[in-house]
Structure formats: structure tokens, C-alpha cells
Structure 1
Amino acid sequence: MTAPRGRGRRPGGVDTRAAIISAARGQFAAKGYDKASIRGIAREAGVDPALVHHYFAGKAQLFAETMEVSLDPVAIVGRVFAGDPARLGWRVVETFLLVWDAPERRQTLAALLRSSMTSDEGARVLREFLSREVFGRIAAATGVPDPELRGSLAGAQMLGLAVMRYILKVPALVDVPPEVIVERLGPVLQAHLVDTPATEG
């Protein structure tokens, strides 16, 4: 005998996926990234948590969907680590520029960044997401001391670049080829995320 479906539960389909994204957007806005849960999002959408996992690899990917950005944060972090650790800082910058320079994402990412600068709620959600899923995850995986500080410094560097290149559109940064930015900022990110500064004495 098949167990009856829970009250309010809906079957899979296009509308269900949209309902999950809508519920997630509301949960992230109300609770922030850290406190929103797959279980709570599923309850809000009227589906089983397993169905959320069927459509989305995890909370990070679901959050990206709520931003209407076609990217996978897990794949992005994986790309950063796929290579020589001595060049990790360069790959962080290169990957960041690849994500932002894509025409289909640039406008949406710029709008998200603008909203984070004018809305406390928007700033909190973006901050928690970047700290937990991107820069914090990279810093923690490299085994450096003070990973939260180092991840935050790396995030500050990259978001500062985003503001100057994509929001304020400073000509010197807009016109320069991406590989020049990678070579200039790569060592800085490497120092934040991998290399421990030498101590004097």
C-alpha cells in the first residue's frame, strides 16, 4: 500500500521547481543565507526536502538560482583548486573575471552588488553566502591560519574590483585585458589565501 502524500505536497515539474526557487528567495530574505535551510525551504514550497535535492545540488546552487545567475558555486571553487597550489591566487582572479565578464551574468551580478550596498538585508545575505560558500571555503581548504580573516581579505579585494570595474566602470580597469588584472592581483590573492607572510626578526 502506498503511503498517502502529505497535505499540500506537490509533484515534481516546472511549477514545482519555480515554487522552490520562490520559497528559497523568501527564506533567504527573511533569515539570511546561514539560517535558511533546505528543510525550511521545502516546507515553504510544500514539497519534500528530497525533491529540493533532486532539482538542486545544495543550498549554494539554490541561492545562485534565486539570484537568477547561471553559475554553480561548487564548480567555481573546484576550478580554483584544479591546479598548482602555487598559482591558486591567480586562478581566483581569473575565475572571478570569467564569471563577471560573461554577458549573460554581468547585469544580474551588478544589480545584486548594487542592492547589497543599499540594503542591509541584501548585504547580509550576500556576505554570508560569499563567506560560507566561496572565499571562506577556499581559505579554509588551504589550511592557512586565520582562514576567516584571510577569506574576508580576499573577498574584499575581489568585490572592490567588481565595484570599480563593473559598477563605477573606471576606464583604466574596464579597458585593461583580463590577463593583466590576473597578473597584477594574483600575487595579492596568493598572499591572502596561501602564503604566510614572513615574520621580521
Structure 2
Amino acid sequence: MTTEDTTSRRRGRRPAGQDTKTALVEAARAVFAENGYERATVRAIAARAGVDAAMVNHWFGGKEGLFAQAVLKLPFSPIDLVAPLRDGPDEQFGERVVRTFITRWDGAGGDTFQALVRSVAGHELASTVLREFFSKFFTELIGGLGSDHGALRTTLCASQLVGLGVIRYIARFEPMATAEVETLVTAISPTIQRYLTGDLGLG
């Protein structure tokens, strides 16, 4: 005999199809962003998606596979950004980098960036993805500029932008969390420009 409660629960479940898979990825991205990899649970993700927890194993083979789809698969390729960023005066590189970083992550909702950063301590692949994102991005940029100390410049730029991302998308410190893009471009780009092309004082 089907009770009213059972019927209600069944109606609240999504069908086991592409909609379920998409819902799980979206829910996982949000839960990983809030809690990081270690603290996120399959049960919490499934509840957020409105599906049975068994669907995580069915579609992704477990939490690890879901993490790979929801977080480690970035919403855009850093290499694809290199050519557009090179299109303009070298002295405005910093402006283009900061503007691109903010608009791309704002457009992606910031959840993937949050999930990556929150998961770095507990998931080695998250650290690798974040490191490779900035490494590939800035190595290509700096290589084109012919600047010295390329590896150091890459990590200096990454430190600035990761810090910006943490403040804007995770800690949400005001006024940076809701500041206009051009306000941040004006304030931050001189530092990025120096890291890219300026004198680091290293001789």
C-alpha cells in the first residue's frame, strides 16, 4: 500500500536520466564550494539535487568521480584565453588579465573556483588543477613577452589572483565581493603588470 508520504517522496525524485546527472553536477559544485572535498558527503549532494544517493554511484562511480566532473572539469580553458589577451599593447597586459580573470569567474558563478580552493587541502588533484591552470596560463603569456624569471613571475601573478578569488568568491569581504569589475581592474592591474613585465629588483 502506497502511503501519502511515500508518494510525496517519489514525486520529489528526479528521473534517472540526463536531468539527474546535470542536477547532481550542479549540486556537487555547490556543496564542494561550501564544504571542500573532505567535508562534502554524497548524501548531502544527493539531497541538494533531490535524488537518491545511489544515483551518485550509478552515474559517477562515487564521490571522486562526481568531484572530477563538477570541479576538476573547468568551465573554460586557460590556454584559449592567451591569444585574446595578447591582442593589445604590452603595457596594458595587467588590465586585460585582471578583467578576464574576474569576468570569466563571475560568469561561471564562482562556484568552481570556490570548490577548487576549498578542496586543495584535502584533495591532491584539486591542488594540481589549480596549479596547472595558472601555470599554463601565465607560462604562455610570459613566454610571449620574453620576460626573465618566468617561473617566479607566474607564481607571483597566481598569488595575486588566487588571493583576489578567495576574497571575492569565498570570504566575500566587502567591498571587493561586490565591487564593479573596472574598479578592481584599476586597483589591481598595476601589480599584475609589474609581475608580468616590470623590474622585480632581482638583478
Q: Shared topology, TM-score over 0.5?
A: yes
Task: Give the TM interval when normalised to the shorter protein.
Answer: 0.5 to 0.7
1:168 aligns with 2:182: no
Q: Which residue of 2 aligns with 1:106?
A: 110
Aligned residues: 136
Point out the structure with max Rg over C-alpha.
2
- Aligned residue for 2:139, secondary structure, equals helix
1:120 to 124, 137, 142: 124
Q: Which residue of 2 aligns with 1:154?
A: 157
Query: 1:66–1:162: structure 2 CA closer, same or farther, 3 Å change rule?
Result: closer
Tell me the TM-score normalized by structure 2. 0.60
Partner AA of 2:193 in structure 1: Q
Distance 2:201 2:122 in 1: 39
Tell me how far 1:141 sits from its aligned partner: 1.8
Distance 1:146 1:199 in 2: 9
Distance 1:89 1:75 in 2: 17
* CA displacement, residues 77-106 of structure 1 (integer Å, 9 cap, x when unaligned): 22221111110011110000011110x442
Query: 1:185–1:64: structure 2 CA closer, same or farther, 3 Å change rule?
Result: farther
Q: Percent identity?
A: 29
Tell me how far 1:68 sits from its aligned partner: 3.7
1:87 to 92, 95, 119: 92
- Aligned residue for 1:72, secondary structure, equals coil
Partner AA of 1:168 in structure 2: A
1:69 aligns with 2:74: yes
Tell me the TM-score normalized by structure 1. 0.60
* CA displacement, residues 142-193 of structure 1 (integer Å, 9 cap, x when unaligned): 1111010011100110001001110111122112211011011111011000
Distance 2:144 2:82 in 1: 10
